[in-house]
Structures are given as structure tokens and as C-alpha cells.
Structure 1
Amino acid sequence: MNGRPNPASPEPSDERDEIARLLPAPADWDLPHGRHLRHKDLLMRHIDRDQATTSTAAARPGRRRLRPVLLAPVTALALAGIVTAGIALNDGDRKPAAGTSSDAAADMQPVSALLGQISDAAGKRDTPTVRDDQFSYVMEKVREADLSSGKAVVGPLHDYELWLSQDPDPVQKQGLIRSDGETMPLNPEFGDTNGTPAGFSRPTYQWLASLPTDPGQLLDHLYAKAPQAENREREQAVFEQIGDLLDQVMPARTAAALYRAAAKIPGVTEAPRAEDALGRQGLGIARNDTKNGVVTEWVFNKQDLAYLGHTTRLTKDTPYAEAGTLLDSSALLKSAVVDKPGQLPDTEKE
């Protein structure tokens, strides 16, 4: 891809398609889906900039974005040791089931009282009626570190919007992402030739409603669906997966169960100085992955205990950044349901 293009050379988009075709399928679940999409959007921007530099002498067709997840294996070095920590999986490190004596000990964690209050508040909130032909909508302010240069470069705060199909059947078009004004489609997950089903990678309202509402059973389900990534604590994977669902529209009983399940995860603590991407301070719930050197904090409004956003930082020095460096953060501004991708809440139907 270096050097001056010639008529016989494939277009950059063709090269990217060929790379994607040759790549092995990524792990079923390594990154929380929302953060996975945002990190891959950053990497797509970097790749597009590189291609623009090497292709200035040739006329290019309309800009085409490759589906974000396809580049996961290519960018493993850039993301290793942060959130994905590689894609080698080991499913043998199963923690005791939620109904055992260790679960009782987890219930005694000081953080359980706060998560219990957050759960009670979530369980009383009204939720909209969601049809299968609609789309969930999330609007956030986000900030992330770009690692494609080998060093963490924390980017500016920018807008992030996600429209996600609520169709219970596998879909070829999951929805749309709009990041800092640029829009790209969400196509099927890599390897999902029949479309992407509802699940952790596409959390529909109906799928969320199907999750167990008993906190212990829910936690067992989350552990079963969260294989261990190399150099990443299993508990952290479960904690981050719960966190990635918190900005979605879901039944009140599901939200309440998720918070009580989180209280049972070993290592979950309060974070008194937590703040989201906009600097809004609130009540914090955190877990420090000591194996990976990363801490993730959820932030909640002090008045109504509503979810505000999250922050993830390094807790130890690495070759690409010092301890304390921001990896990614979000501030939830809107979570709603709309009739079609690209539509904004509270706007008239066309």
C-alpha cells in the first residue's frame, strides 16, 4: 500500500476488503460492544488518513468505511493490554456459582448498599413500549485514546450516536453509527453470514427482557457468556459487559437486576471522585483489573441515581502510556427509541 498507485493496483477499499476476507473470525465477545465500536471507529479514521496520504495522485471513489470489527485482529497490538487484551480465550477459569457461600460474602461488600439503592431507583423508572421494527438510540459525548501510533494519544471530546435495530431475528443491517458528524452503517458481525442475532453484540429490548431477573441467576448467565481473554480478569469482563448495557433502553426489572448482579462481582467498590466525559461528578462504582492495570468507573447522578457515563484509565505504567492515562470515557445525553436509523428522538415522522 506504500508508494505511488498505478492502474493495476487495487483501490484501497478493495485491499481492505481482501484483508478482512483473510482474517480469522474474532472472539465471540472480547470487548464490550459499544466501546469496541468506538475504538474501531478511531482506527478506521487512522487507516483512512493513511490511505488518503498514499493515494493523493489517484482519483478515489466515494468514501467507504469497512465495518469496524473486521480490523480487530489487525489492530491487536494497538489494543493489547487495554480492554481486549488479546483474543486468546480460556473458558476454564469459572468462578463459583452465584448461589454459593462466596456469593453471600459478596453480598456483604460495602458497595452492595449503594448498588442496592441504584437498583431500587432503576426498578421504579418508566420504560417505553418498544416495537420490533424500531431502533434504540443513544447519544453520548465520548473521549478516547488512539493507540495506533504505539503511544496513547487522547483525542478531543466528540459526539457519538448509535441506532441499533430491535428486530429479534438476525439482521444484515444492524443500524448506524454517527461519530463526530460522520455516519457509517453497522453491517453484520464478521462471520454472521445470515445476519447478526440479538444478544450482547446487539442488545435489543426484547433480548434484555429475556435475561434472568434474579441477580444470582443473571450473574451466572453473564459468567457463562464472558470467556476469559488472556491477561484480563474474568470478573472485569463481566463488570464491563454490564457497564456496556447501561446506556440502552431496557425493562426496569432488567436494569435493577443488572445492578444487583454487579454487587456480587468480587472487587467492585465505590469510587467517591468519579466523573464522566463531561466532567460531571457523581456517585461512582468501580472495578480495578489488577491483572491488566485498568480501572473502569460507572458514574451516577447524586440526586436520582441515573446512569451518567463511564471512565476507564490505566492504573500502571505501560509502554504506550503512564498510569492515570485516560483510555476512554463517555457521558450519556440521551437514550430513547425511534422509528428508523438516523432519526432523532422527539422529531416528527417524515
Structure 2
Amino acid sequence: MRARLRAGDPEAFRQLYQDLGQAIYAHAYRATGDWSAAEDAVSLTFLEVWRLRERLQAGDESVRPWVYAIATDVLRNRGRAARRHHQTLARFGAHQFIYVKSKVGFTHQIKQRTIGGPAELDAVHQREVWLAADPSRNGLIREGGQNITIHNSGTGVVDPDAAPQSARPGTVPQIASLSTDPDTLLKQIYTATRGLSPGKNAAAFNWIGETVSESIVPEDVASAIWRAAAKIPGVVLVKDATDAAGRHGEAIAHVSDGERTEYIFDRNTHLFLGERSYLIKDTPEGKAGMLTGTSAVLSRAVVDTMGDLPTGTRT
């Protein structure tokens, strides 16, 4: 078995999953007490088993201890992420702001005052955002040497009875209150994006990017978002993708209007790392393969005043 796994034999991997899948699920459920988190841990464990297969030492011994060790690492990493996010949420007050620092680069039209013409990618640069906890207050974007006011920066609620609205999901408490059941969450997403361009599934996928990119998302909700995204028709899993900071993770990808967008997540925690988008066919904007966007979230924090930086942050 070890030799076959090291060689990348798919049949050996399927057999390993059949032999140990339920045992790893039971191990994860005992650790988390949550069936959804346990299922996530199983998926992540076997993804890691496949990724690390060449490190498996040769021999005749059972691979069971090695797989259990990987599962334990996955659970430990998820637990650390959950504690960090719960601590952040516990300190978040209605008067405060979410601070997000990123590296970004997106396309702009080469000729000003044109729509749909040739475009080029901006140099990757720093972007800082302050989003208000109170939905009635303004926020701020600091990018490219400019300060841009975000009016009513926290608005937008996932409400089944609400009319179509902006894709931005709203405040941290609203995001934290989203369902952690993927099927229920997907229904909430479709409700929140009803009637929005460029279509039902593309709008739902865009909502996910809006939600995870510049907010603080609890670990259990982030995991549910990942699982809900996989249920959107046309969404595919990318096993290795790279953000603007050079970090590797898994991505969910969707194609709309000739452009493929990948939202990149940490393999273990499903926390958002960044995004990458590119053209898959020739368009008025550019040739197939042209990079149209790249980003990486570098830090998230809670601050008391719009424009404040977290302690120890450098601009």
C-alpha cells in the first residue's frame, strides 16, 4: 500500500479512503462534536494525504497512524483558527470598524471613458479598508494614494423577505448569523442575490467573494460558505492556486462572460487568502490567458476609529 500511494496510484488512494474514511470521520466528530466540521476534516485530511503522499516512508507497516496524524494536524489547525475568530468577534462593538489590509491588482480601461475596450492590469499595490460595524456609518478605502469614502459601508442583510440588494452581506453579526448548513446557506445566498447581474449562479458566486474578501467570517461560517459554493452549478475545485502574496491554497472557480475567477482559501481552515481571475477566451478587453485580477488578504483586525491602524501595523 505504501509503495502504491507514494507512486500516486488512484486505486490505492480510493482503497485507503474506503478503509479509513469512516474511522477518520468518527475521530473528527469526537474532536468537534459537529457533523459538518467532521465531514470537512475528513475531506481536508485525505486531500493532505494525497498532497503529502511522496513523504510517506517505504515499508510494510500500516499507514493508519500516518493518516491519523494528518487528521489530528488538520483538526488542530481548524481549532486554532476558530479560537482566533471567536476572540475577534467577542471584542467587536457597534462603534468599531473592520480593518482589512490587502495586496491587489485589477484591470482598468486603457482608454478613459470607454466601456468594454482594451484593458491592462494595474501593478499590485496596497489596499486598506475600514468597514463600519454600524450599517448606517460610512467606511473608508485607502488605495493608490487616495482616500475613498464608502457610504453606509455595512448595509446589506441576508433576509429572505427583503427585496434584491447589494451583494455585500453586511455587518459581522449578520455574517456570523448565517446558516452553517450548506444547503440552507445556499438558499440564503440565492435569496440575497435574486435579480442581480450577471445571472443567478454568477451572482451567487460573486456574493461569496464579496462576503469573504473584506470582512471577518467565523470559521464555521467560512467552512459552510466553501461547501455551499461547491453546490453552485458551474463551480469547480482547483486543488492548487496562488494568491498575490505567493501563498498556495485550494480555490473554487467559476466562469462568467469569458472570465474565470478563482477564490483561494487555506486548505486547512477554509479562510480566504485571495483571488485570481483571467480571460479564458479572446474578448474586447484582451486575449485569452490575460490576468485580469489578483489579490491577497494580508491582515484583518478590529479598530476603534476609521483610519486607525491595528497595533504594530506598518503602512
Give, in whole Å, the separation in 2 of the partners of 1:115 and 1:311.
25
The answer to whether the Cα contact below 8 Å between 1:122 and 1:306 also exists between their aligned partners in 2 is: no
> Which residue of structure 1 aligns with residue 155 of structure 2?
197
Match of 2:145 among 181, 206, 209: 181
In structure 2, how many angstroms separate the alpha carbons of the residues matched to 1:334 and 1:182? 20
Instruction: Name 1:343's counterpart in structure 2.
Output: 308
More helix, by proportion: 2
Q: Secondary structure at the match of 2:180?
A: coil
Q: 1-side partners of 2:258 and 2:110: how far apart?
A: 19
Instruction: Report the AA paired with residue 213 of structure 1.
Output: T
* Counterparts in 2 of 1:133 and 1:142: CA distance versus 1, 3 Å: same
Q: Percent identity?
A: 35
Matched residue type, 2:98: S
TM-score (norm 2): 0.63
The amino acid across from 1:209 in the alignment is A
1:158 to 125, 138, 144: 125
- Distance in 2 (CA, whole Å) between partners of 1:287 and 1:318 is 17
In the superposition, the TM-score normalised over structure 1's length comes to 0.57
Q: Which runs of 5+ in 1 are unaligned?
A: 1-111, 190-195
**Whole-angstrom distance in 2 between the partners of 1:343 and 1:122:** 30
1:147 has 2:109 as partner: yes
Corresponding letter in the other structure for 2:305: K
1:297 equivalent in alignment to 2:262 = yes
SS at match of 2:82: coil
Label 1:278 to 1:252 Cα distance change in 2 as closer, same or farther (>3 A). Answer: closer
Equivalent position of 1:134 in the other structure: 96
Cα displacement (A) at 1:139: 0.5
Indicate the SS of the match to 2:216: coil
Instruction: Find 2:276's aligned residue among 311, 314, 319.
Output: 311
CA RMSD of aligned residues (A): 3.0
Q: 1:213 aligns with which of 180, 184, 205?
A: 180
Unaligned runs of 5+ in 2: 1-41, 49-73, 112-116, 158-166
Counterpart of 2:264 in 1: which secondary structure? strand
Question: How do 1:1-350 residues align onto structure 2 when only pairs under 5 Å count?
Answer: 113=43, 125-126=82-83, 127=85, 128=88, 129=90, 130-147=92-109, 149=111, 150-167=117-134, 170-171=135-136, 173-188=137-152, 197-199=155-157, 200-201=167-168, 203-229=170-196, 232-247=198-213, 248-289=215-256, 292-302=257-267, 306-346=271-311
**Deviation at residue 117 of structure 1 after TM alignment:** 8.0
How many angstroms does 1:148 deviate by? 5.6
Query: Does the 8 Å CA contact 2:259/2:279 hold for their aligned counterparts?
Result: yes
Give the Cα–Cα distance (whole angstroms) in 2 for the partners of residues 227 and 113 of structure 1.
Answer: 31
How many residues matched?
A: 225
Q: Distance in 2 between matches of 1:175 and 1:202?
A: 15
Distance change in 2, residues 1:314/1:211 (3 Å): same
